[in-house]
Structure 1
């Protein structure tokens, strides 16, 4: 299956600033072509690429005051390769994290999903979050967590993912956060989903039900959104004046049955 993804970011830079981007396809994604460009005032920057243990590719550079234009595009051919998950990784994804406080939702999770395990549990958590949370763009804050979403019943994709992850971890299922490109997503943007570790494999859980899971393209993987931000910076100031994300798939993935387990392609 062929997929095409792109991202355009225009940043207003105030002062010398250390920028870290996570907008490229992950190391495991099979690419037939890729282009990443950073331009400012006629000058082209070369970023340093750093790959973390999950295969996420970070690009770091120091920019000066002015308008920085970031352009990324890639063509994906085929499915991503499967990577082995170590015992240490599995343990890490069982622990509470900043936005996924599994310890705080432990009692409700144990009461809500008592007696369930494996695929049945994953589907039940997915259904619960999908039916109790309303997708509400513009109302979610960057500091909102799984507990916030559980209390308010509203959020965007990152909030759905955080709540799914927290509930699964509370039920002793390793769960992680994945940032991705999502063909057919409406409104189009960077997307976030959860992944659950069941019987030695990772499966996508997207309680928003906004995009076919079989067409998603992995960008970054981590404990929660804090590990997968498309942009972070240190020193100076940064304003995002424009952002455009696109994602297209040759196979639109129609007919996705959210009650079956699916791996990220």
Structure 2
């Protein structure tokens, strides 16, 4: 499978700031046929340095000043990556409550709704339940909303769906984490977020929004929740998003059976 992804982001910066960008395809993809990341400020190039975390997430750091900052990224990935190695420490972290995934608070709900289910049946049931209990409403949630607030509001966007899925699975002792992705077939096009659950000795994608085929998703960042996977973290002066264009296409868009296991590759 050949996938092409791109992002063009413009920011207005009030003063000196450090950017931590998370827009590049995961380091786990070795077959990156083409790739370029360019950061400029008011037309002048900005030096970028790369860090890679334990999940293969590539973070790009740069220092900027007051003015308009433009981030341009494009990648072409051919083929699929092999399942990443299983990290026992990651499995421990992925069962714990986190900032946006309050699995301890939602444990009674999880046991009442999904008690007795395991494996494929559990993932399908949680995905269906979250998809039927939430309405996808852009702009309906606040950046600080977690899974509990999402369930109370019964609406949100992709990260909210993923947080609720993760919290419910962790409440049942299933390791679960969040992945930011490029999503061919997504409409309207944007960065996308899905859950990943560790079942039968492998990580499998759970996307309760059902907005894009899971087999085409291109991994960007992996973490406990959205606090680990934001496309931009800034330190210093105030930063405002002026414009954002995201693109993702694949040479095929297969149908997605939500009851089937799909690994993110």
**Aligned residue in 1 for 2:246:** 245
Q: Quick one: distance in 2 between partners of 1:26 and 1:81?
A: 13
Partner of 1:23: 23
Q: Within 5 Å, which residues of 2 pair with 1:248-259?
A: 248-253=249-254, 255-259=255-259
Counterparts of 2:7 and 2:74, CA distance in 1: 7
Distance (whole Å) between structure 2 residues aligned to residue 111 and residue 235 of structure 1: 45
Distance 2:28 2:87 in 1: 16
Aligned counterpart, 2:52: 51
Cα distance per residue 1:106-164 (max 9 Å; x no partner)? 01101111111111111111111011111011111111110011111100000000000
Cα pair 2:4 2:75 within 8 Å, conserved: yes
1:147 aligns with 2:148: yes
Give the distance between the partners of 1:86 and 1:252, measured in 2 at CA: 31
Structure 1 residue 41 displacement after superposition: 2.6
Equivalent residue runs for 1:11-160 within 5 Å: 11-29=11-29, 30-160=31-161
Q: Which residue does the alignment assign to 1:7?
A: 7
What is the rounded CA distance, in whole Å, between the counterparts of 2:115 and 2:240 in structure 1? 46
Following TM superposition, by how much is the alpha carbon of 1:46 offset from its aligned partner in structure 2, in angstroms?
1.9
Q: 1:263 offset after TM fit, Å? A: 0.6
Equivalent position SS for 1:101: coil
After the TM superposition, list the runs of 4 or more consecutive aligned residues in structure 1 that deviate by more than 2 angstroms.
Answer: none
Q: Which residue of 1 aligns with 2:237?
A: 236
Q: Are 2:5 and 2:182, in contact at CA under 8 Å, matched by a contact in 1?
A: yes
**Secondary structure of 2:164's partner?**
helix
- CA distances 1:171-224 after superposition (whole Å, capped 9, x unpaired): 110000000000110111000000000111000000000000010000000000
Deviation at 1:252, TM superposition (A): 1.2
1:164 paired to 2:165: yes
Q: Which residue of 1 aligns with 2:219?
A: 218
Rounded to whole Å, the distance in 2 between the matches of 1:40 and 1:124 is: 47
For residue 110 of structure 1, give the secondary structure of its aligned residue in structure 2. Answer: helix
Q: CA deviation at 1:83?
A: 1.6
Q: Note the residue ranges of structure 2 that are not aligned, 5 or more in a row.
A: none
TM-score (norm 2): 0.98
Mapped to 2, the partners of 1:16 and 1:108 lie a distance apart of 46
Residue segments in structure 1 that go unaligned for 5+ positions in a row: none
Aligned match of 2:191: 190
Report the CA distance between 1:42 and its aligned residue. Answer: 3.1
User: Secondary structure of 2:56's partner?
Assistant: coil
What's the secondary structure of 1:103's corresponding residue? coil
CA RMSD of aligned residues (A): 0.8
